[in-house]
Structure 1
Amino acid sequence: MVDFVTSRVVAALSCRKGVTALEYGVIAAGIVLVVVTAVAALGPQLTTMFTAVGDGL
């Protein structure tokens, strides 16, 4: 029984699929954070610019 548990623990620790998925999730969250921050910071400036372009047409 101990051998079975030990082999399952070793197999779980050597499996990299879950770690890779977690790493991709962290990267995706970082990208989302950067995009949201950029849109929040540049939003008013873009609105002003597009309003000026629309008024010029």
Structure 2
Amino acid sequence: MNKLIQSAKQFINDEQGMGAVEYALIVAIMAAGIVITWPSLSSALDSAFTAVKNNLATPPAP
């Protein structure tokens, strides 16, 4: 029983692999942010590129 408690304490205090977990959380948060903001970002980019296309299609007056 003492060995089990000692193993549990060692497992709790072990920080090996924590960096990978932190990076995975950062990536997950960034992905969620992209998914949430994509609709508004998509429409804004579409209107910006449409404006550029329209301005390039019409040559300036001499």
TM-score (norm 2): 0.62
Equivalenced residues, count:
56
Residue identity over aligned pairs, in percent, reads 25
Runs of 4+ in 1 over 6 A off after TM superposition: none
Q: Which protein is bigger by CA-based radius of gyration? A: 2
Q: Give the gaps of 5 or more residues in structure 1.
A: none
Q: Greater helix share, 1 or 2? A: 1
TM-score (norm 1): 0.65
- Superposed CA RMSD: 2.1
Q: Give the gaps of 5 or more residues in structure 2.
A: 57-62
